[in-house]
Amino acid sequence: MEISAQLAGIKPSYIREILAATQAPGMLSLAGGLPASELLPVSQLMQAMESLAQSPEVFQYGETTGYAPLLDFLSAKHGLPSDNAAMVCTGSQQAIDLIARAYLNPGDTVAMEAPSYLGALQVFGLAQANIHSIEQTNEGPDLNQLETAFATGSIKLFYGVPDFHNPTGVCWSLAVRKAVADLCNRYQVAFVEDVPYRELRFTGTALPLVSSFSPNNAFVMRSFSKVSSPGLRLGMVSAPKEWLAALVKIKQASDLHTGLPMQAVLLSLLRSEGFPKHLEMVRSNYKQRYQVLYQALEPLFGEYCECDTVEGGMFVWLKLLKSQAMDVTRTLLEQNVAVVPGDVFYSSVDITRPALRLNFTHSSLAQLEVAVARLSDVLRAQV
Say if residues 286 and 361 touch (Cβ distance below 8 Å): yes
| Pick 115 or 378: Cβ nearer ligand PLP | 115
Bridge partners of residue 221, in order along the sequence:
194, 237
Rule CB under 6 A: say whether 230 interacts with ligand PLP: yes
Give CA–CA dist 373/297, Å, rounded. 9
Rule CB under 6 A: say whether 81 interacts with ligand PLP: no
DSSP state of 150: H
Rule CB under 6 A: say whether 312 interacts with ligand PLP: no
| Pick 89 or 300: Cβ nearer ligand PLP | 89
Q: Going residue by residue from 16 to 55, which x/- string records binding to ligand PLP, judged by CB under 6 A?
A: -----------------x----------------------
Phi/psi of residue 42, each to 5°?
-65, -45
Rule CB under 6 A: say whether 66 interacts with ligand PLP: no
Give CA–CA dist 186/151, Å, rounded. 10
| Pick 97 or 343: Cβ nearer ligand PLP | 97
Q: Which of residues 98-117 bind ligand PLP (CB under 6 A)?
A: 117
Phi/psi of residue 323, each to 5°?
-115, 160
Q: How many residues bind ligand PLP (CB under 6 A)?
A: 14
> Contact region for ligand PLP (CB under 6 A) — 87-95, 101-109, 123-131, 348-356?
87-95
Minimum CB distance to ligand PLP, residue 272 (Å): 21
Among 44, 84, 92, 352, binds ligand PLP (CB under 6 A): 92
In three-state secondary structure terms, 88 is strand
Rule CB under 6 A: say whether 266 interacts with ligand PLP: no
Rule CB under 6 A: say whether 363 interacts with ligand PLP: no
Among 115, 235, 259, 341, binds ligand PLP (CB under 6 A): 235
Measured CA to CA in angstroms, residue 161 lies from 99, 198, 210, 224, 307 at distances of: 15, 9, 10, 16, 19
The percent of the chain in helix, strand and coil, each rounded to the nearest 5, is 50, 20, 35
Say if residues 134 and 111 touch (Cβ distance below 8 Å): yes
Dihedral angle over CA of 157, 159, 163, 168, nearest 10: -150
Rule CB under 6 A: say whether 316 interacts with ligand PLP: no
Minimum CB distance to ligand PLP, residue 50 (Å): 25
Residues 6+ apart with CB under 8 A from 208: 174, 177
Rule CB under 6 A: say whether 228 interacts with ligand PLP: no
Residues engaged in binding ligand PLP (CB under 6 A): 33, 91-93, 117, 119, 161, 166, 194, 196, 223, 225, 230, 235
